[in-house]
Amino acid sequence: MHRIVFLDRATIAPQITLRAPRFAHELITYDHTRPDEVVARLAGASIAIINKVTLRADALERLPDLKLIAVAATGTDNIDLQACASRGIVVSNIRNYAVHTVPEHTFALIFALRRSICAYRDAVRAGRWQEAGQFCFFDHPIRDLAGSTLGVIGDGVLGQAVAAMGRALGMRVLFAGFKGQTGQGALYTPFEQTLAQSDVLTLHCPLLPTTRNMIGAAEFAQMRRRPLLINTARGGLVDEAAVGPALAAGQISGAAFDVVTTEPPPADHPFMALLDRPDFILTPHVAWASDEAQQGLADQLVDNIEAFVRGEPANVVTA
């Protein structure tokens, strides 16, 4: 019988059903697990389910019974994949489950900034409408998306879905080529050219050594059209300390982030000083988290576990 331990069940909403795997098993769940609790809680487990809990080589070498790490997410940067490979531990992840929720959240942020939704809501709350004394007031900019240029960094399933939404709204879409590279074909616009031509820049790429801080002070200086910057992908793609100065200098018209390098961000994180700005939005890493997407994730998670037990591992991640 397999012993299955879910170390951070609270990373999936409580209303989401995690169906019982169709084989003999014991399932133990914990809402949260601290780093110093990982080894003790996984002792004797053949299958670990994790979302954001870290599993490094020093912990893995103390877990001789562990055979599968089923990740309840797409990203696996919290796992030492090489150590897993050397110990014969299979790692599986979740794929293509957020094809609607992330693009929809991305455009919710774009609309909110492009039409100053939050700024006008706050102004009404503060009594500005009564002060204006007429049927409307014009304290904040309102811009259409139709006819503007959407720069997409990352051409995977999410980037493609965002691009399709942009085209449906009458936007011109550019897919950025890899930073510092040319000659990638007609489908791609050079990275620097994308920065210069876009009215909205949206990130949908993984966090890799080559993409860490891919947008910083030098890149903000190249943004000729003062675009909106949207990041629903990974914290660390943008130099977060450079966002405030870029907003203050007018190099970008607004910024919205759903991801941060450290989550939750500490009180002294640069973004925390921007929360009262009308041109900045921070959401708590929930772009992926519609009920529909979470249920799809939970179903695929159990599918992955059942496939492994059948001897047919699915969605395997390699080092």
> How much is the pLDDT for 181?
78
Do the beta carbons of residue 134 and residue 110 sit within 8 Å?
Answer: no
Do the beta carbons of residue 119 and residue 276 sit within 8 Å?
Answer: no
| pLDDT exceeds 90 at position 84 | yes
CA-to-CA distance for 175 and 163, rounded, in angstroms?
8
- pLDDT, one tens digit per residue, over 3-50 is 999 999 999 999 999 999 999 999 999 999 999 999 999 999 999 999
CA-to-CA distance for 192 and 208, rounded, in angstroms?
19
> Amino acid letter at 272?
M
Do the beta carbons of residue 60 and residue 75 sit within 8 Å?
Answer: no
Question: How many helices (H) and strands (E) would you count in the chain?
Answer: 11, 11
CA-to-CA distance for 307 and 21, rounded, in angstroms?
10
User: What confidence category does residue 77 fall into, taking pLDDT thresholds of 50, 70 and 90?
Assistant: confident
> How much is the pLDDT for 75?
86
> Average pLDDT over the chain, rounded to whole?
96
> Which are the catalytic amino acids?
234, 263, 285
Do the beta carbons of residue 254 and residue 280 sit within 8 Å?
Answer: yes
> How much is the pLDDT for 186?
78
- pLDDT, one tens digit per residue, over 93-144 is 999 999 999 999 999 999 999 999 999 999 999 999 999 999 999 999 999 9
Q: What percent of the chain has pLDDT over 90?
A: 94
> How much is the pLDDT for 197?
98
Neighbouring CB atoms inside 10 A of 133's CB total 7
CA distances (Å), 314 to each of 2, 77, 92, 211, 301, in order? 18, 19, 7, 27, 10
Of 148-157, 177-186, 202-211, 236-245, minimum mean pLDDT range: 177-186
Q: What are phi and psi of 95, to 5 degrees?
A: -130, 145
Do the beta carbons of residue 35 and residue 10 sit within 8 Å?
Answer: no
CA-to-CA distance for 57 and 84, rounded, in angstroms?
8
| pLDDT exceeds 80 at position 183 | no
- pLDDT, one tens digit per residue, over 208-251 is 899 999 999 999 999 999 999 999 999 999 999 999 999 999 99
> How much is the pLDDT for 241?
98
The two tokens of residue 103 are: 């693009």
- Residues 60-71, mean pLDDT to the nearest whole number: 98
CA-to-CA distance for 244 and 254, rounded, in angstroms?
10
| pLDDT exceeds 90 at position 167 | yes
Tokens 């080894």, residue located: 39
The pTM of the full predicted model, rounded to 2 decimals, is 0.90
| pLDDT exceeds 80 at position 283 | yes
CA-to-CA distance for 299 and 307, rounded, in angstroms?
12
Ordered domains of the chain (ranges, CATH)? 2-95+291-309 (3.40.50.720), 101-282 (3.40.50.720)
| pLDDT exceeds 80 at position 185 | no
User: What confidence category does residue 316 fall into, taking pLDDT thresholds of 50, 70 and 90?
Assistant: very high
